[in-house]
């Protein structure tokens, strides 16, 4: 099989149907008949994002709205694990965004993990070529603490980075804090994140653990989205990447993420 319209439609339909039916599908890297490891990296990356975009288009056709974006693989350790030298991205749809302190039924997901992150809300479009740090700063309205829920629709879990990208970079939900913080009132580079469960710290890290600074990740995303003709829009929010290790979710537990200078956000699972 080769990369063509039929291929993209076939695998995007499988993933779209798996999401809505809460079923699992076989790894695209193992079942597609394509030797992803021996492809030119630009060809394989482009193909993976095209499948993601086809699935996103199906979501839009079914009435969902894109309200944000996610950045993943912002840790050099995780990039090395997947033998991939850049971050990855995904779309966030309105049906996957929740307020703090909600209660979630774990049966919605297959094997969910959660991560503590910083969310950045935009007040300007970022749609020009060669977006700089100045453009990023001028476009930011405010920041929020966030919890990302990550999950996969692949049977047996992801087998490689292209499984992750095609499955919307594993985004399954975002929980946002309630109190906006101005950009210059927070130290995004040095802020500490703690995730607590039942009084214990289960994950921790710093803003600099996200590509050295969360805005580095945002610069990458803004330019990457322009290159894919899906530029970041005013009013959207971006979760900029995990500040600490992902944590497996358990029923009957409450998780709270606190980020210095930015605030807290929590979620209950049953």
Check residue 14 and give its pLDDT: 86
Q: What is the mean pLDDT of the chain?
A: 93
Residue 160: Cβ within 10 Å count = 18
Q: How far apart are CA 104 and CA 227, in angstroms?
A: 36
**Long-range CB pairs of 134-140, under 8 A, 24+ apart, other chains included:** 135/222, 136/215, 136/218, 136/219, 136/222, 137/183, 137/215, 139/232, 139/234, 140/183
pLDDT at 31 over 80: no
Check residue 165 and give its pLDDT: 95
Give the mean pLDDT of 216-228: 98
Check residue 2 and give its pLDDT: 57
Q: Pick 77 or 185 by higher pLDDT.
A: 185
pLDDT at 239 over 90: yes
Give the mean pLDDT of 78-99: 95
Check residue 268 and give its pLDDT: 97
Report the top-level CATH class of 65-269: alpha beta
Both tokens of 226, joined, read 């322009």
What are the sequence ranges of the domains in the chain?
65-269
8-23 per-position pLDDT tens digit? 888 888 888 888 788 8
Q: Look at residues 92, 98, 104 and name the one whose alpha carbon lies nearest to residue 65.
A: 92
Q: Is the dihedral of CA 198, 202, 208, 211 positive or negative?
A: negative
Q: Cα-Cα-Cα-Cα dihedral of 235, 241, 244, 249, to 10°?
A: 70
Q: Pick 134 or 25 by higher pLDDT.
A: 134
Both tokens of 168, joined, read 């919307």
Q: How far apart are CA 205 and CA 268, in angstroms?
A: 22
Tokens 């047996």, located at residue: 156
139-179 per-position pLDDT tens digit? 999 999 999 999 998 888 888 899 999 999 999 999 999 99
Q: Look at residues 198, 189, 197, 170 and name the one whose alpha carbon lies nearest to residue 118.
A: 189
């Amino acid at each position: 099989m080769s990369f063509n319209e039929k291929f993209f439609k076939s695998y995007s339909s499988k993933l779209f149907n798996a999401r809505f039916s809460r079923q699992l599908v076989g790894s695209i890297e193992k079942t597609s008949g394509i030797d992803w490891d021996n492809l030119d990296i630009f060809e394989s990356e482009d193909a993976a994002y095209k499948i993601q975009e086809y699935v996103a288009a199906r979501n839009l056709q079914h009435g969902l709205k894109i309200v944000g974006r996610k950045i993943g693989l912002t840790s050099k350790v995780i990039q090395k694990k997947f033998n991939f030298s850049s971050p990855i991205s995904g779309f966030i749809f309105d049906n996957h965004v929740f307020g703090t302190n909600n209660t979630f039924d774990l049966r919605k997901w297959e094997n969910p993990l959660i991560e503590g992150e910083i969310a950045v809300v935009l007040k300007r479009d970022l749609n020009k070529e060669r977006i700089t740090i100045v453009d990023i700063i001028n476009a930011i309205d405010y920041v929020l603490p966030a919890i990302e829920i990550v999950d996969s629709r692949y049977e047996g879990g992801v087998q490689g980075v292209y499984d992750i990208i095609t499955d919307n970079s594993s985004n399954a939900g975002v929980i946002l804090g309630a109190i906006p913080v101005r950009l210059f009132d927070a130290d995004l580079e040095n802020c500490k994140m703690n995730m607590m469960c039942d009084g214990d710290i289960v994950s921790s890290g710093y803003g600099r653990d996200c590509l050295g600074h969360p805005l580095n990740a945002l610069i990458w995303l803004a330019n990457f989205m322009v290159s894919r003709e899906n530029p970041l829009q005013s009013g959207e929010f971006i979760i900029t990447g995990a500040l600490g290790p992902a944590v497996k979710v358990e029923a009957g537990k409450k998780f709270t993420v606190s980020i210095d200078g930015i605030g807290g956000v929590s979620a209950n699972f049953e």
